[in-house]
């Protein structure tokens, strides 16, 4: 099916114009791809001759479909009681050391059935889709044994089949030390490397992640996880420098990481490593806000180095229980001083790069026909409003979804 979409004001995020703006724009999609994007006045007659269906978008603003490139959507339970403790002054790290935190969610997740995990994650994912998310990354990391990690990754795959979204799955076995490995972190890392190979053989893994932190895994342990991933040909990502500077970013960049995520405590040497490796910086303002952090990531240095910056929800029950990617656009601007255009690039083209995807994130010929139609006059409103959802329509793979 060849479809003509007219009367669009397009933020293509491609080309030299701010926002890649096309004032009186049109798009032609053919099956799941864009065949042509540009000013309506330039529509080529030979393509118009083949159009089978037409849609008038009524002068609405059109952007690429949104991409949430860092989520922990599959888990059971929630941790609002820990939120209350944090408000009383107990530190997130102390809750984790006392057996709460990630381990509390691991216990709840192990106790849930795969069907329950699917239903819980589907309910969460629908909130993201309602704001125009067309691609989402989902990490495991709340199972921490082979059976439950596998179940969580199968749930992620099934979400991509049953809900209207493309899912990329990331194995985060090295998220926390499970209780049965207390005092034996190196043995646990060996187990993670072994499970990784099995999960990959079952087609459940698109990338590998780890939590390199004082309360997570050391750089030496993280290196072992990355060596195992590289041996399997899997790309890596890293939760790096969230609570302290471990030099984890430099390590991840040795392995040409797709992205380093969080980065509040990133050093200049870390920035330079990212520049050299072409690694994307994924900033997570929800976690920064929720933990009431005060040291923001070094945005000026990242910008100066030309490091692509992505933005994501980091949805998880402990440090970022948000299901609004639009809210993260606003927070990326207010808390991290991104421009609204940088923020939109952060949930489209740069988020795609953070997932190793090069077929989406901009509206140009050859890319996927994934786009959002918004009830706004200017794309900067996506970062300006908070708690308002101006989404009118989603087109994914060339088909109207909502």
Sole binder of ligand DI6 in the list 14, 140, 169, 316 (CB under 6 A): 316
* Number of other CB atoms surrounding residue 224 within 10 Å: 18
Residue 374 in the binding site for ligand DI6 (CB under 6 A): no
Of 245 and 381, which has the nearer Cβ to ligand DI6? 245
Sole binder of ligand DI6 in the list 19, 36, 211, 371 (CB under 6 A): 211
Sole binder of Fe ion in the list 314, 341, 342, 370 (CB under 5 A): 314
Across 342-375, b (16+ Cβ under 10 Å) vs e yields bbbbbbbbbbbbbbebeebbbbbeebbbbbbbbe
CA distances 179 to 95, 103, 114, 172, 370, Å, are 15, 8, 21, 17, 43
Contact partner at residue 105 from Fe ion, ligand DI6, none, CB < 5 to 8 Å by partner kind? ligand DI6
| Least separation in angstroms between CB 102 and Fe ion | 10
The CA angle 342-345-350, to the nearest 5 degrees, is: 120
The piece of 98-106, 250-258, 345-353, 375-383 that touches ligand DI6 (CB under 6 A) is 98-106
CA distances 309 to 79, 301, 317, 336, Å, are 29, 11, 24, 11
Sole binder of ligand DI6 in the list 169, 246, 250, 319 (CB under 6 A): 319
Number of residues lying near Fe ion (CB under 5 A): 1
* Number of other CB atoms surrounding residue 385 within 10 Å: 14
Asked if 332 and 283 touch (Cβ cutoff 8 Å), the reply is yes
Of 14 and 249, which has the nearer Cβ to Fe ion? 249
Asked if 272 and 294 touch (Cβ cutoff 8 Å), the reply is no
Of 259 and 319, which has the nearer Cβ to ligand DI6? 319
Q: Give the contact letters, 67-86, x = binds to ligand DI6 (CB under 6 A), - = no.
A: --------------------
- Dihedral of alpha carbons 157, 162, 167, 399, sign: positive
Residue 100 phi, psi dihedral angles, 5° rounding:
-85, -145
Binding residues for ligand DI6 restricted to 221-240, rule: CB under 6 A = 239
Sole binder of ligand DI6 in the list 317, 379, 390, 398 (CB under 6 A): 317
Sole binder of ligand DI6 in the list 133, 191, 287, 328 (CB under 6 A): 287
C-alpha gyration radius of the chain: 21
Q: Give the residues lining the site for Fe ion (CB under 5 A).
A: 314
Q: Give the residues lining the site for ligand DI6 (CB under 6 A).
A: 101-102, 105, 175, 211, 239, 242, 287, 314, 316-319
């Amino acid at each position: 099916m060849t479809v003509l979409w007219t009367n669009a004001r397009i933020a293509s995020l491609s080309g030299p114009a701010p926002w890649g703006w096309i004032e009186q724009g049109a798009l032609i999609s053919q099956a799941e791809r864009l065949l042509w994007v540009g000013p309506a006045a330039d529509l080529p007659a030979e393509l118009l001759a083949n159009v089978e269906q037409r849609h008038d978008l009524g002068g609405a603003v059109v952007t690429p479909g949104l991409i949430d490139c860092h989520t922990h959507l599959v888990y059971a339970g929630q941790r609002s009681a820990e939120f209350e403790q944090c408000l009383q002054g107990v530190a997130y790290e102390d809750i984790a050391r006392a057996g709460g935190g990630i381990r509390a969610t691991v216990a709840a997740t192990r106790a849930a059935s795969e069907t329950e995990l699917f239903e819980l994650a589907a309910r969460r994912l629908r909130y993201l889709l309602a704001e125009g998310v067309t691609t989402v990354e989902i990490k495991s990391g709340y199972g921490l044994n082979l059976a439950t990690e596998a179940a969580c990754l199968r749930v992620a795959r099934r979400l991509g089949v049953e809900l209207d979204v493309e899912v990329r799955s990331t194995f985060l076995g090295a998220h926390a030390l499970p209780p049965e490995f207390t005092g034996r972190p190196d043995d646990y890392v060996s187990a993670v490397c072994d499970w990784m190979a099995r999960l990959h053989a079952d087609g459940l893994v698109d990338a590998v992640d780890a939590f390199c932190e004082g309360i997570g895994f050391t750089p030496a342990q993280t290196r072992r996880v990355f060596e195992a991933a590289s041996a399997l040909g899997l790309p890596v990502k890293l939760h790096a420098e969230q609570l302290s500077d471990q030099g984890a970013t430099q390590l991840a960049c040795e392995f040409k990481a797709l992205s380093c995520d969080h980065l509040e405590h990133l050093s200049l040497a870390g920035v330079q490593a990212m520049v050299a490796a072409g690694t994307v910086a994924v900033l997570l303002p929800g976690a920064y806000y929720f933990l009431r952090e005060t040291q923001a990531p070094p945005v000026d240095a990242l910008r100066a180095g030309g490091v692509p910056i992505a933005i994501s929800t980091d949805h998880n029950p402990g440090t970022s229980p948000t299901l609004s990617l639009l809210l993260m656009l606003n927070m990326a601007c207010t808390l991290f001083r991104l421009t609204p255009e940088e923020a939109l690039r952060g949930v489209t083209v740069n988020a795609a790069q953070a997932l190793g995807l090069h077929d989406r994130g901009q509206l140009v010929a050859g890319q996927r026909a994934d786009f959002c139609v918004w009830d706004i006059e200017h794309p900067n409103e996506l970062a300006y409003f908070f708690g308002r959802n101006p989404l009118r329509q989603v087109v994914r793979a060339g088909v109207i979804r909502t």
